[in-house]
Amino acid sequence: MATSSSDIGSRRLDLAGTRDFAVAGAGRSRRAALSAFNREWLAEVWAAATGGARLEGVALAAVGSLGRADAGPLSDYDLVLLHSERSMPAKDLTALADRVWYPIWDAGVRLDHSVRTVTQCRQVAASDLTAAVGLLDLAHLAGDEDLVAAARSTVAHDWRGNARKRLPQLVEALAARHARQGDLAQSIEPELKESHGGLRDMTVLTALAEAWLADRPHGGVDAAHALLLDVRDAVHVVTGRGRDRLGREDHDAVAALLGHTDADDLLTAVSDAGRTVAYALDGTVRRAGQSQRARTLRVGPRRPQMTPLGHGLFASDGEVVLGSSRLAETDATMPLRAAVVAARAGLPIAPATLDNLAAGAPDLPTPWQAPARDLLGDLLASGGGLVTVWEGLDQVGIVERWLPEWAAVRSRPQRNAVHRHTVDRHLVETVVRAAGLVRRTSRPDLLLAAALLHDIGKVRGAHDHSVTGAETTRVVATRWGFAPHDVEVLVTLVREHLTVIELATRRDHQDPATVDAVVAAVDGDREVLELLLALTEADASAAGPLAWTDWRATLLDQLAVAARARLDAPRPVTDPVAPVEDPTGGGHLDQGLAASVRAGEPDVRVVSGGGSHRLDILDLDRVGLFADTAGLLAAEGHTVRTAILRTVDGVAANEWHVESPSGAVPDPERIVRGLSRLARGDRTPLQTLDRRRAHLARPSGESGLGSPGQARALVVPGASSEATVLEVRAQDRPGLLHELGVALARAGISVRSAHIATYAGQTLDTFYLTGADGRPLPPARVGQAVSLVIDTCDGVTPG
């Protein structure tokens, strides 16, 4: 052979690497060169296997990416050795197959192979949907070309003939695959092939067209397909492997190879391409279903069934259509009307209608008049139907006509661990969640508009997206015709949309300074507070399960109670009413209970709500009680989220909020027994925690956290007048809160409250610290506390 088997992998990479990935059109020429090389080499393999003889009734064919001529530099080969029933004896056929397959394996190329007759191809396609779609791409490589043509035409004929039966199977298989792999557009590590909007969906588009059920879109979807192929090729070159997933560790290298400004620019382009492919596939599947129903139900001439929806719009075969394109040309609000009707009906707008609306409808006047603004509010209040309708409007550019600022956040990735969507999709999801909360406020229009705009400042170069978004919101809200006062409310909501949840999770809700910060954020306006609370919940719940948990909901409710009390009362509220019963009875303990605790009998009460639990723990106050309780709860498998500590009549009355990953409810009696043993100096209850630490211990010289100095501890000035507030950022590990409590107790520093959060293995903790006198720490002691916390987090043992 002209090319050595050992050179195949490097030769394929050389063909990819010698072409400039960043030059327009380079991908097509690169894949053409790779396809030609693959075919030539396999033809050489065939010639060597056959000894150059011309064999009738035997051929080598390709399916998959090789058959479609869009294989990547390190894509595998999917080959079929076709033969007629009487072409050669079975023994000779097996020997021929071995002579073809072994050189490919020796070259290190991944190979999926089969030996089939035309009849067997038909049988496999009839029984295996994936194989049927793949065989539609059957392409001749060597040998009897007529045999390959016969096989392909036969499979295609059967595919068209069985379209009525196969389409429901195809739709079901698509739904199952998409459920497994997710949306390409919404992933920070997209699966380029199997996910919704990936390369395999382009194959399905072609298969639907091959069935003569629907023509597939071209133009934009072809460009999106080419971009995904370029990214796939770059992943092969960067990793040296035939991967289809764009891993986080490869973002920068792939972005540089493809000429993108940075990794976020690359991910935005990939997301855009995935959305285009997904939208094209979903629409084509609907077209195919409509075509099939028309064939099935037709008895003579069939008129489309049109159900009036008002405003010249109709429901027709699962979509909303416009009765006359002229309606769009005379009414600037028609796109809004169509969107409201479609979203409320839970139907997509037909692609042809979207094109007519985009091309024909005049722009809305600036500022918008009340009818247009009301229609926007109706659209945003439509609930779950908004997602599909908004995507269609976005695909044809209507959203950017209403909101030009949308372009800067469209498909923009989010690298925060709590987020599961791109910025724009998160905004739409937040609107959907907010639509379920509108009854909490008297101004649902402002809540929904704020939900749509709250992250509009997440643009390239923004230092603080809340501040940037507030400035943008002022422009947008003015354009939409909101009254000046309403504009200022929207600006406040966007600017402060993270304030309440950050205060709730990182500050002590019983500290007057925390409540002061909430009141200041809403300018002392009770209605703005209710809007902000609803926006906070909608934002967090739309972000994902890491951002909205029972624990976070409980903390937000506690802070909301305190803030409402402050705003409703003419005097400052220093001890707000908790949402559940206070075990101290409003600041004083029952004398009998106090006597029992002083006698060495702790009292534990558990109030469960969903996946979170509140533990009210009464125990004899002592140095190290915080550390012991934290360690005991960790040993029991509970994750501490908040600890609020206070002393009443000489007894520690502590409130702990925990989550239980195992689903177990904390056992009060078990906790009482553990605390009693720890108070006597018996460390047995912490043995489980010690074993877990030992299991995770690193070799000598390593802290288990990475390099020393990784942790950070920052003093938060002005956060409280009653304690020194310390924010801690470090890598999490079992029992870390216990270790911090022990270190601080040894230094004579008291923990008044602790607010714990962990994301992606990183702690985001806040501690309220006081000295033995119950007052904030003096400067020297603050420095000592910071040092202790950092050393403890980094696993450094004090000398």
- Domain annotation covers residue 338: no
Rounded-to-integer distance, Cα 91 and Cα 84, Å: 14
CA-based nearest residue to 281, from 236, 331, 220, 325: 220
What predicted TM-score, i.e. pTM, was given to this entire model?
0.81
Number of C-alpha atoms within 13 angstroms, CB side, residue 669? 0
pLDDT band at 299 (very low <50, low <70, confident <90, very high): low
What single-letter DSSP state applies at residue 361?
A: S
Name the residue with tokens 């109670």: 561
Rounded-to-integer distance, Cα 117 and Cα 58, Å: 9
CA-based nearest residue to 789, from 754, 464, 759: 754
pLDDT of amino acid 332: 92
Segment 360-363 long-range contacts (CB within 8 Å, at least 24 positions apart): 360/325, 360/326, 360/328, 360/329, 361/328, 361/329, 361/331, 361/332, 361/334, 361/335, 362/329, 362/332, 363/332, 363/401
H/E element holding 467?
helix 465-479
Q: By the 8 A CB rule, do 627 and 742 touch?
A: yes
pLDDT of amino acid 691: 80
CA 302 to each of CA 212, 293, 315, 318: distance values in angstroms, whole numbers, following the listed order? 19, 11, 16, 17
Rounded-to-integer distance, Cα 64 and Cα 138, Å: 8
Rounded-to-integer distance, Cα 370 and Cα 90, Å: 80
Name the residue with tokens 């010249």: 312
- Domain annotation covers residue 253: yes
- Domain annotation covers residue 334: no
pLDDT band at 323 (very low <50, low <70, confident <90, very high): confident
Rounded-to-integer distance, Cα 565 and Cα 549, Å: 24
Rounded-to-integer distance, Cα 161 and Cα 213, Å: 11
Name the residue with tokens 């894949």: 31
pLDDT band at 798 (very low <50, low <70, confident <90, very high): low
| CA-CA-CA-CA torsion sign (306, 309, 312, 314) | negative
- The yes-or-no verdict on residue 575 having pLDDT over 50 is no
- The yes-or-no verdict on residue 212 having pLDDT over 90 is no
The strand pairing partners of 319, in sequence order, are 316
Q: By the 8 A CB rule, do 750 and 774 touch?
A: yes
The better pLDDT of the pair 799, 88 is held by: 88
Gyration radius of the chain's alpha carbons: 33
Query: Across the chain, what does the average pLDDT equal?
Result: 88
- The yes-or-no verdict on residue 574 having pLDDT over 80 is no
Phi, psi (rounded to 5 degrees) for 284: -70, -35
Count CB-CB contacts under 10 A for residue 498. Answer: 16
Count CB-CB contacts under 10 A for residue 344. Answer: 18
CATH number at residue 684: 3.30.70.260
pLDDT of amino acid 581: 45
pLDDT of amino acid 436: 92
- Domain annotation covers residue 585: no
**309: helix, coil or strand?**
strand
Q: 639 and 760, same structural domain?
A: yes
Instruction: Give the number of residues written for the chain.
Output: 799
Q: 224 and 137, same structural domain?
A: no
pLDDT of amino acid 582: 47
Which residues have CB under 8 Å from 681's CB, separation 6+? none
CA-based nearest residue to 471, from 500, 444, 451, 494: 494
Residue 247 tokens read as: 């891993």
- The yes-or-no verdict on residue 210 having pLDDT over 60 is yes
The better pLDDT of the pair 11, 308 is held by: 308
Q: Which residue, 244, 264, 297, sits at the end of a domain?
A: 297
pLDDT of amino acid 4: 53
**651: helix, coil or strand?**
strand
CA-based nearest residue to 229, from 31, 52, 503, 392: 31
Number of C-alpha atoms within 13 angstroms, CB side, residue 308? 3
Strands (E), 571-620: 603-609, 612-620
Q: 619 and 761, same structural domain?
A: yes
Angle of helix 370-380 versus helix 444-453 axis, rounded to 10: 70
What single-letter DSSP state applies at residue 258?
A: T
pLDDT of amino acid 732: 79
pLDDT above 90 covers what percent of the chain?
Answer: 61
- Domain annotation covers residue 341: no
Residue 384 tokens read as: 């779950």
CA-based nearest residue to 333, from 374, 390, 384: 374
Q: Is 266 exposed, middle or buried (0-12, 13-18, 19+ CB in 10 A)?
A: buried
Q: 45 and 13, same structural domain?
A: yes
Q: 206 and 276, same structural domain?
A: yes
Number of C-alpha atoms within 13 angstroms, CB side, residue 383? 6
Q: 694 and 548, same structural domain?
A: no
Q: Would you give the distance in Å from CA 180 to the centre of its chain?
A: 14
Q: 634 and 783, same structural domain?
A: yes
List the single range of 162-171, 327-336, 439-448, 688-697 with lowest mean pLDDT.
688-697
- Domain annotation covers residue 415: yes
Count CB-CB contacts under 10 A for residue 592. Answer: 8
CATH number at residue 116: 3.30.460.10
Mean local confidence (pLDDT), 206-218: 88
Q: Is 51 left (phi over 0), alpha (psi -120 to 50) or beta?
A: left
Q: 508 and 595, same structural domain?
A: no
Give the residue numbers spanning the domain of 238. Answer: 165-297
Mean local confidence (pLDDT), 175-184: 94
Mean local confidence (pLDDT), 135-156: 95
What's the pLDDT tens digit per position in 474-509? 999 999 999 999 999 999 999 999 999 999 988 988
Q: Which residue, 297, 322, 355, sits at the end of a domain?
A: 297
Q: Which residue, 245, 280, 297, sits at the end of a domain?
A: 297
What's the pLDDT tens digit per position in 4-44? 555 777 777 777 665 567 776 677 888 888 899 999 999 99
pLDDT above 70 covers what percent of the chain?
Answer: 91
**Total count of domains within the chain:** 4
What's the pLDDT tens digit per position in 361-419? 999 999 999 999 999 999 999 999 999 999 999 999 999 999 999 999 999 999 877 78
- The yes-or-no verdict on residue 707 having pLDDT over 70 is no
Residue 436 tokens read as: 């379920």
- Domain annotation covers residue 35: yes
pLDDT of amino acid 5: 53
Residue 778 tokens read as: 């003096």
CA-based nearest residue to 543, from 417, 640, 660, 653: 417
- The yes-or-no verdict on residue 664 having pLDDT over 70 is yes
- Domain annotation covers residue 367: no
Q: By the 8 A CB rule, do 637 and 664 touch?
A: yes
Q: 197 and 174, same structural domain?
A: yes
Q: 575 and 600, same structural domain?
A: no
Rounded-to-integer distance, Cα 590 and Cα 498, Å: 40
List the single range of 287-296, 313-322, 604-613, 761-770 with lowest mean pLDDT.
287-296
Name the residue with tokens 């709500």: 609
Count CB-CB contacts under 10 A for residue 650. Answer: 11
Q: 179 and 85, same structural domain?
A: no
pLDDT band at 760 (very low <50, low <70, confident <90, very high): low
What's the pLDDT tens digit per position in 258-274? 999 999 999 999 999 99
CA-based nearest residue to 616, from 578, 560, 650: 578
Q: 270 and 146, same structural domain?
A: no
CATH number at residue 208: 1.20.120.330
Residue type, 242: G
CATH number at residue 415: 1.10.3210
Rounded-to-integer distance, Cα 228 and Cα 65, Å: 13
